[in-house]
Amino acid sequence: MSKQKSDYTFWTKYKKFAGNEIMLYIIMVIGIILGIVIVSYFR
């Protein structure tokens, strides 16, 4: 029983961390695309 509980907390923590990491990657990709658009626009 205690092992299942530890797995549950581990997976909830991992999902939260993965969600934050996905958001971080999405923000990075948007920033890179915006940077390319701005640089190409001003050239």
- The pLDDT score that the predictor gives to residue 33 is 97
Q: Is the pTM of this model over 0.75?
A: no
- Alpha-carbon span 27 to 20, nearest angstrom: 11
What is the tens place of the pLDDT at every residue in 1-43?
A: 445 555 567 667 777 777 788 888 999 999 999 999 999 988 7
HSE at residue 4, side-chain half, CA atoms within 13 A, is 1
- Locate the domains of the chain by residue range: 1-43
- Alpha-carbon span 35 to 1, nearest angstrom: 51
Beta strands in 1-43 (DSSP E): none
